[in-house]
Structure 1
Amino acid sequence: MDRHYQNLVQKLEEITHLNGVMSTLGWDQEVMMPAGASEARAKQIAALAGVIHERMTDPALGDCLNELKEKNFDHLNEVERCNIREALHSYELETKVPKRLVQELAELGSRGQGIWVIARQENKFSDFAPVLKRFLELKTEWAQRISPELKPYDANIDLFERGTTMDMITPIFECLKQELIPLIEAIQSQPLQPDTSFLQGRFALDKQEALARAISQDIGFNIAQGRIDVSVHPFCGGSHPTDVRITTRYKDSDFIESLYSVIHETGHALYEQGRPHELGDVPASESLTMGIHESQSLFWERMVAQSKPFCSHYFDTIRAAFPENLKSADVDSFYRAINTCKPDLIRVEADEVTYPLHVILRYEIEKGLFEGSMRVDDLPEIWNESMQKYLGIKPPSDTLGVLQDSHWSGGAFGYFPSYTLGAMYACQFYNTLLREQPDTKKNIASGNFAPIKVWLNEKIHRQGRLYTPQELVQRVTGEALNPDHFIGYLKTKYGEIYQLG
Structure 2
Amino acid sequence: MSVFTHSNPNIRELIELSSQLKDLSSTIALLSWDQETHLPPQGALARARQLELLSGIYHEFATKKKLGILLEKLREDIENKPQDFTQYDQALVREMSREFTMATKLPKKLVQALSKESSIGLEAWKHARAQNNFADFAPSLQKIVELKREVAHTYGFNQSPYDALLDEYEQGLTYQQVMDAFVPLRETMKVLIPQLTEKTAVYDKGILRQTFDGQQLWDFSMHVLELIGFDLERGRQDKSTHPFTMGLNIGDVRLTTRIIETNPISTLLSTIHEAGHGMYEQGISPDFADSTLGFVNSLVVHESQSRFWENMIGRSKEFWEFLYPQFQARFPKQLKGKNVEEIWRELNVIQPSLIRVDADEVTYHMHILIRTEIESALIEGKLDVKDVQSAWNEKYSRYLGISVPSDTQGCLQDIHWSQGLIGYFPTYSLGSLFSAQLYETIIQEHTDLPQAIKEGRFEKPLHWLNDKIHQHGRVYTSEQLAQKVTGKLINADAYLRYIEKKFHI
TM-score band, normalised by shorter chain: over 0.9
Alignment deviations for residues 321-345 of structure 1 (CA, whole Å, 9 cap, x no partner): 1111111311111110111111111
Distance 2:210 2:198 in 1: 26
1:359 aligned onto 2:365: no
User: Which consecutive residues of structure 2, in runs of 5 or more, have no partner in the other structure?
Assistant: 1-6
User: Which consecutive residues of structure 1, in runs of 5 or more, have no partner in the other structure?
Assistant: none
The residue number in structure 2 matching 1:28 is: 34
Tell me which of 440, 463, 484 is aligned to 1:431.
440
SS at match of 1:466: coil
1:69 aligned onto 2:78: no
Instruction: Give the Å deviation of 1:277.
Output: 2.7
The residue number in structure 2 matching 1:151 is: 160
Q: 1:399 to 1:286 in 2, by over 3 A?
A: same
The residue number in structure 1 matching 2:48 is: 42
The residue number in structure 2 matching 1:53 is: 59
Q: 1:179 to 1:106 in 2, by over 3 A?
A: same
Instruction: Give the Å deviation of 1:257.
Output: 0.9
Distance 2:445 2:151 in 1: 44
The residue number in structure 1 matching 2:308 is: 299
Alignment deviations for residues 296-351 of structure 1 (CA, whole Å, 9 cap, x no partner): 01111100111011111111111111111111311111110111111111111111
Alignment of 1:55-454 (within 5 A): 55-71=61-77, 72=80, 73-149=82-158, 151-190=160-199, 193-454=202-463
Alignment deviations for residues 382-408 of structure 1 (CA, whole Å, 9 cap, x no partner): 111110111110111111111111000
* Percent identity of equivalent pairs: 38
Distance 1:313 1:129 in 2: 46
Distance 2:140 2:308 in 1: 34
Amino acid at match of 2:194: E
Amino acid at match of 1:476: V
- My pick for the range that moved more, 190-199 or 457-466, is 190-199
Alignment deviations for residues 156-183 of structure 1 (CA, whole Å, 9 cap, x no partner): 0011011111111112111111111221
Alignment deviations for residues 446-481 of structure 1 (CA, whole Å, 9 cap, x no partner): 001112111000000011112111111111011222
Cα pair 1:198 1:328 within 8 Å, conserved = no
SS at match of 1:85: helix
Instruction: Give the Å deviation of 1:150.
Output: 5.3
Distance 1:291 1:473 in 2: 11
SS at match of 1:5: helix
1:10 aligned onto 2:16: yes
Distance 2:76 2:324 in 1: 61
Instruction: Give the Å deviation of 1:149.
Output: 4.0
Distance 2:490 2:199 in 1: 32
Tell me which of 436, 455, 458 is aligned to 2:464.
455
Cα pair 2:237 2:255 within 8 Å, conserved = yes
Distance 1:405 1:165 in 2: 22
Amino acid at match of 2:63: T
Distance 1:69 1:278 in 2: 22
Instruction: Give the Å deviation of 1:187.
Output: 2.4
Instruction: Give the Å deviation of 1:280.
Output: 4.4
Instruction: Give the Å deviation of 1:371.
Output: 2.2
* Paired residue total: 496
Cα pair 1:342 1:354 within 8 Å, conserved = yes
TM-score, normalised by the number of residues in structure 2: 0.96
Instruction: Give the Å deviation of 1:148.
Output: 4.4
Distance 1:253 1:479 in 2: 41
SS at match of 1:229: strand
Cα pair 1:9 1:282 within 8 Å, conserved = yes
Cα pair 2:91 2:475 within 8 Å, conserved = yes
Cα pair 2:368 2:428 within 8 Å, conserved = yes
The residue number in structure 1 matching 2:4 is: none
Distance 2:289 2:307 in 1: 28
- My pick for the range that moved more, 21-30 or 146-155, is 146-155
Instruction: Give the Å deviation of 1:373.
Output: 2.1
Distance 2:283 2:201 in 1: 43
Distance 1:42 1:482 in 2: 40
Distance 2:241 2:491 in 1: 34
